[in-house]
Amino acid sequence: MRSKVLFSRIALFIGALLIPTLGFAYDPDTHGGGNDSTHTEEAHAAPAAEHEGGFDPGHMIMEHVSDAHDWHIAGHVHIPLPVIVKTDKGIEVFSSSHFINHETHAAQSYTGGNYTYKIVEGKVVVWDNLAQAENETATATLIDFSITKNVASMFVVAFALCFVFLSIAKAYKRAPGSAPRGMQSFFEPIIMFVRDDLAKPSIGPKYEKFMPYLLTGFFFIWFSNMLGLIPVIPGGANLTGSISVAVVLATFTFIITTINGNGHYWRHIFAMPGVPVWVLIILTPIEILGVFLRPFVLMIRLFANITAGHIIALAFFGLIFIFSKNGENTGTGVGVGIASWLFTTFMFFLELLVAFIQAYVFTLLSAIYFGSAVEEHHHIAEDFDGKPNVEHAH
Amino acid sequence: MSNILLEAASTGHGIAALGAGVAALGAGVGIGRIGGSALEAIARQPEAAGDIRANMILTAALVEGAAFFAMVIGLLVTFIV
């Protein structure tokens, strides 16, 4: 029994070690530049023109951390994703594979029913083939609803969440009160951790109402952070490191806090009891600002943490191509490659931790904000920026 | 050293890089202090390790948030200006 546990741990360890290697294999985009300019350069003809002949790490990194209209696998192999655009002439749906020429792999425009479209700097714009320029008046009316890489990745996370939690819920219904089995035994301690260590101490007796949101938020962030660490399909998208996703998550927390705020909560914002009027003139604007600042910081923290993780891994890979001067210096490239492989392996272990900690911190802070919204008696000391002091909350 | 600083300061990108460095410095000091104090507290009172660890991670995340503001602004300067 013991050796089985040990074996599975070693297998996990080796698996984790392999993750950065996969990333190395997956990153053919980093070969961009030099003589064999790949689609990275071509897909973005305009900005790439000035970098022709040299490897531009900033461009490569931004390419990888931002959203895309196709899912890159290796080399010239992409999974095209549907493009859904709404312009003033109506909605159009087509595959993003139309944007790439299949023989030369160069970026090209696609003429749909209403307009001609092209991807410029990662965004779909209305293209004027005669003028060879963007039709800016038509682009202004364009709304992009495409299933991009991030959206597709979000579907994967949603499917995984539904699969895991519906089957766990079914297992609890089928055999109530019995010992957990299989997947249940893995997730039960984590669910209990969210309930007993996050929700209960921060929210208090009314925690049950917020459990669905906290659990969903926790597992959504955790799953998508982990999925972002896997360099190959179905991972590789920078989902939680996309500011739009972070904005939506923080907005949910903001809305739930605002809706559930009781009289006590609002009184503490607009007229802190026991404070002289002249202090209130200064304090109330700060408190009102704090209401909006909290979700804002929540958003920035998630976005920046995850994006920073991706940027660090990509920067280490970028070093290989900087030091080897685009393949001229093979020996240096191999040497730096080994060093950056080791560094990236180390960073991935850190990122595994960060993936969990960010889910934990987001959920904990949300729970604390909900707690401050529903609490009845004043027993939580508040520090200067209006965040309840957790030490007292425990 | 001063040459490097002058050269870096002559472009917005260099200043952004310096800013990111200073932010990392501040966050490093902050998180280091949190970690040190937390270890000390756990050594004094091992039975409270769970609570201390939870608060340590939370406070570290708050410090990190401040550093990330600087980092995001540095990135914006690098990629937009």
DSSP-assigned states of every residue in A16-76: HHHHHHHHHHH-GGGG-SSSS--HHHHHTHHHHHTTTTS--HHHHHHHHHS--SEEEEETT
Q: Choose, out of A197, A202, A301, the residue to mutate when testing the contact with B (most B CBs < 10 Å).
A: A301
pLDDT interval class at A333 (50, 70, 90):
confident
Instruction: Give yes or no: residues A116 and A256 share one domain.
Output: no
Q: Is B11 helix (H, G, I), strand (E, B) or coil?
A: coil
Q: Which tops the pLDDT comparison, A299 or A53? A: A299
**CA A105/CA A100 separation, integer angstroms:** 6
- Residues in chain A closer than 8 A to B61 (CB atoms): 301, 357-358, 361, 365
Q: Please name the amino acid found at residue A325.
A: K
**CA A352/CA A13 separation, integer angstroms:** 12
Residue A278 falls inside a structural domain: yes
**CA B42/CA B38 separation, integer angstroms:** 6
Q: Is the pLDDT of residue A217 over 70?
A: yes
Instruction: Give yes or no: residues A110 and A170 share one domain.
Output: no
Instruction: Give yes or no: residues A194 and A141 share one domain.
Output: no
**pLDDT at site A110:** 84
Model confidence pLDDT, tens digit, residues A78-129 = 888 888 888 888 888 888 888 888 777 778 888 887 888 888 877 888 888 7
Last residue of a domain, one of A116, A148, A180: A148
Q: Please name the amino acid found at residue A115.
A: Y
**CA B41/CA B35 separation, integer angstroms:** 10
Instruction: Give yes or no: residues A203 and A270 share one domain.
Output: yes
Model confidence pLDDT, tens digit, residues A244-296 = 999 999 999 999 999 998 888 898 888 888 888 888 888 999 999 989 988 99
| Chain B residues 8-67 with CB within 8 Å of chain A | 50-51, 54-55, 57-58, 61-62, 64-65
Percentage of chain A beyond pLDDT 70 is 81
* Weakest mean pLDDT among A42-56, A134-148, B19-33: A42-56
Please state the three-class secondary structure of A47-59 as a single string. Answer: HHHCCCCCCCHHH
Q: Which of B50, B55, B65 sits opposite A301 (nearest CB)?
A: B65
Residue A180 falls inside a structural domain: yes
* The overall pTM is greater than 0.80: no
Instruction: Give yes or no: residues A243 and A378 share one domain.
Output: yes
Q: Which tops the pLDDT comparison, A24 or A103? A: A103
Please list the residues that pair with A72 across neighbouring strands.
Answer: A78
Most confidently modeled range among A68-72, A201-205, B10-14, B62-66 = A201-205
Instruction: Give yes or no: residues A122 and A213 share one domain.
Output: no
**CA B81/CA B77 separation, integer angstroms:** 5
Residue A340 falls inside a structural domain: yes
Interface contact flag, B57 A360, Cβ < 8 Å: yes
CATH of the domain at B74: 1.20.20.10
- Residues in chain B closer than 8 A to A358 (CB atoms): 61
**CA B8/CA B17 separation, integer angstroms:** 8
In chain B, which residue's Cα lies nearest the Cα of A299? B65
Q: Which residues does B81 contact at the CB level (< 8 Å), separation at least 6?
A: B12
pLDDT interval class at A224 (50, 70, 90):
very high
Range of the domain at A94: 30-148
**CA A112/CA A393 separation, integer angstroms:** 58
Q: Indicate the length of chain B as a whole number.
A: 81
**pLDDT at site A90:** 83
Q: Is the pLDDT of residue B1 over 60?
A: no
Residue A295 falls inside a structural domain: yes
Instruction: Give yes or no: residues A169 and A234 share one domain.
Output: yes
Residues of A with CB under 8 A from a CB of B: 58, 62, 197, 297, 300-301, 303-305, 308, 357-358, 360-361, 364-365, 387, 390-391, 394
Alpha-helix residue ranges (DSSP H) falling in B1-81? 2-9, 12-44, 49-80
Range of the domain at B39: 2-80
* Weakest mean pLDDT among A114-118, A190-194, A389-393: A389-393
Q: Which of B62, B72, B78 sits opposite A58 (nearest CB)?
A: B78
**pLDDT at site A62:** 81
Q: How many domains does chain B have?
A: 1
**Mean predicted confidence (pLDDT) in A289-313:** 89
Instruction: Give yes or no: residues A273 and A382 share one domain.
Output: yes
Residue A2 falls inside a structural domain: no
Mean pLDDT value across chain A: 80
- Residues in chain B closer than 8 A to A62 (CB atoms): 79
Last residue of a domain, one of A121, A148, A175: A148
DSSP-assigned states of every residue in A195-263: IIIIIHHHH-TTGGGGHHHHHHHHHHHHHHHHHHH--STT----STTSHHHHHHHHHHHHHHHHHH--H
Q: How many domains does chain A have?
A: 2
Last residue of a domain, one of A107, A126, A148: A148
- Residues in chain A closer than 8 A to B55 (CB atoms): 390-391, 394
Check if B76 contacts A (Cβ < 8 Å). Answer: no
- Residues in chain A closer than 8 A to B72 (CB atoms): 300, 303-304
pLDDT interval class at A391 (50, 70, 90):
very low
**pLDDT at site B38:** 95
**CA A95/CA A70 separation, integer angstroms:** 9
**pLDDT at site A179:** 84
**Mean predicted confidence (pLDDT) in A226-230:** 90
Instruction: Give yes or no: residues A180 and A35 share one domain.
Output: no
Q: Which of A301, A390, A391 sits opposite B64 (nearest CB)?
A: A301
pLDDT interval class at A331 (50, 70, 90):
confident
Residue A23 falls inside a structural domain: no
Q: Is the pLDDT of residue A22 over 50?
A: no
Q: Which of B50, B58, B69 sits opposite A364 (nearest CB)?
A: B58
Residue A12 falls inside a structural domain: no
Instruction: Give yes or no: residues A347 and A388 share one domain.
Output: yes
Q: In angstroms, what CA-CA distances link B24 with A312, B32, B74? A: 14, 12, 12
A222-252 residues labelled b (16+ CB within 10 A) or e (exposed): bbbbbbbbebebebbbbbbbbeebbbebbee
pLDDT interval class at A377 (50, 70, 90):
low
**pLDDT at site B69:** 78
Instruction: Give yes or no: residues A200 and A227 share one domain.
Output: yes
Q: Which residue is listed with tokens 């003139």?
A: A281
Residue A49 falls inside a structural domain: yes
Q: Which tops the pLDDT comparison, A319 or A191? A: A191
Model confidence pLDDT, tens digit, residues B10-57 = 666 777 778 888 888 999 999 999 999 999 999 999 999 988 988 898
Interface contact flag, B72 A300, Cβ < 8 Å: yes
> How many C-beta atoms lie closer than 10 Å to residue A151's C-beta?
19
Instruction: Give yes or no: residues A335 and A212 share one domain.
Output: yes
Whether A319 contacts A336, CB under 8 Å: yes
> How many C-beta atoms lie closer than 10 Å to residue A49's C-beta?
9
- Residues in chain B closer than 8 A to A294 (CB atoms): none
A-B Cβ pairs (cutoff 8 Å, strict): 42
Q: Is the pLDDT of residue A19 over 60?
A: no
